Amino acid sequence: MSLYVAATRQNDGKTAVSLGLLKVLGQRFQKIGYMKPIGQQYQIIDKKKIDKDAVLMHRIFDFDDNLSHINPIAVPSGFTEKYIQQGKRDVLVEKVKKAYEQLCRAHDFVLIEGTGHAGVGSVFDMSNAQVASILGAKAIIVAGGGIGRPIDEIMLNYPTFTTEGVEVLGVILNKVKKEKYRKIQKLATKGLKRKGLEVLGVIPFEDVLSNPTVSELLEDLDGDLICGEGALNRRVESFVIGDMVPYEVSSYLSGGSLLIVPGNREGLIFAALSDWVLGVGSNYLISGVVATSGKKPNKKVVDVIKKINIPLIVVQEDSFTTACEIARAIFKVRAEDNEKINKTEALIQEYVDVDRILEKLKG
């Protein structure tokens, strides 16, 4: 038995939903497996390109499977250009099918995670919808929380699957604002039912799933840690680019803020720390400082940051580029982040009708 998990777009929470489903399904099946047929963001593992999500799941679940079976195709730079000029689809198809067959032989259930929306991969004839069809898998679509835009986006993706002969079991709405939960659940369920689609889950937004630690951002930014080793587990709830005059910075910061600022703007950095230094209160203790453009603050400022025990990270990129990298990292789950993993499992248990999914898979 297998299930293909797709999404309407990036950052809808497809990987988190897949992780949670794997955890819950692991309680119903003795041997459960995972596959990411096409990967776009990869790491080099044993000289092979392996999708980052595949590596993540492999670490979390300690799978025995060969990583090249979990992720048979990774798409490096230049892949699509080379494919258009001289690529052979049957080679890719065979690679994916063989990997899938290996996983099916070893497991009672295989969860297959797609890459982006239904059409991603069309340029090399291996879109999500096409891959689901090749594997003979039924699909669910994960969409963002809301009514109008999510339904519109679902209806853009749905026909792409049905055109390829893929049965879509239903939809999971993710990251629904808690204050609008009941309204969205009721209206989205009714609206999608009119389109012939069943809502299989409505998951509320949880801050813990979108707040990385300073340690996680340090890894993603590949920066140099100057001080604050003992506070790397602090959660980053927001980030502020330091492009204001120093006396204004306090009004933009709160506990949990990350300040992104050129390292030579020492007056602004010190102003950001002043409320805590003056004893105003711990509510203003920021999570960390990222000094950009490769510029480390002068020794006096660094000494103050050390005294307060705030992580100071120096990166080579400018502030805007750094902020964009952090924004992309916001929704990641890491193998060592037990709090996020446990929360993800709990959300799937409570808000997704897994029994209904299995019932529809068998039907």
pLDDT tens digits, residue range 106-160? 999 999 999 878 888 888 888 999 999 999 999 999 998 888 888 999 999 999 9
Distance CA 242, CA 291 (A): 10
CA distance 46 to 208: 33
Write out pLDDT tens, residues 4-51: 999 998 767 888 899 999 999 999 998 999 999 998 877 787 878 888
pTM of structure:
0.78
- What is the per-residue burial (b if ≥16 Cβ within 10 Å, else e) of 62-97? ebebebbbbbbbbbeeebeeebeeebeeeebeeebb
Cβ neighbour number for residue 182 with a 10 Å cutoff: 11
Q: Supply 223's token pair.
A: 């920066």
What is the pLDDT, as a whole number, of residue 134?
Answer: 95
Please report how many Cα atoms fall inside a 13 Å half-sphere around the Cα of residue 226, on the Cβ side. 24
Determine the pLDDT at residue 331: 56
Contact (Cβ atoms closer than 8 angstroms) between residue 43 and residue 52: yes
What one-character DSSP code corresponds to residue 194? H
Taking the C-alpha atoms of residue 351 and residue 8, their distance in angstroms, rounded to an integer, is 19
pLDDT range class, residue 336, cuts 50, 70, 90: low
With a CB cutoff of 8 Å and minimum separation 6, the contacts of 258 are: 214, 217, 236, 238, 239, 240, 286, 287, 288, 289, 290, 326
pLDDT band at 86 (very low <50, low <70, confident <90, very high): confident
User: Which amino acid appears at position 39 of this protein?
Assistant: G
The residue-averaged pLDDT of 64-73 equals: 90
Distance CA(164)–CA(119), nearest Å, equals 11
Distance CA 343, CA 102 (A): 31
Average pLDDT, the chain: 86
Selected residue with higher pLDDT from 234 and 97: 97
User: How many Cβ atoms sit within 10 Å of the Cβ of residue 355?
Assistant: 9
Give φ, ψ of 221 to 5 degrees.
-80, -15
Q: Which helix (H) or strand (E) holds 282?
A: none
Asked whether the beta carbons of 329 and 212 are under 8 A apart, the reply is yes
Contact 62, 43 (CB under 8 A): no
180-228 pLDDT per residue, tens: 999 999 999 999 999 999 999 999 988 777 677 888 888 888 889 999 8
194 CB-near residues (< 8 Å, 6+ apart): none
User: What pLDDT is recorded for position 348?
Assistant: 93
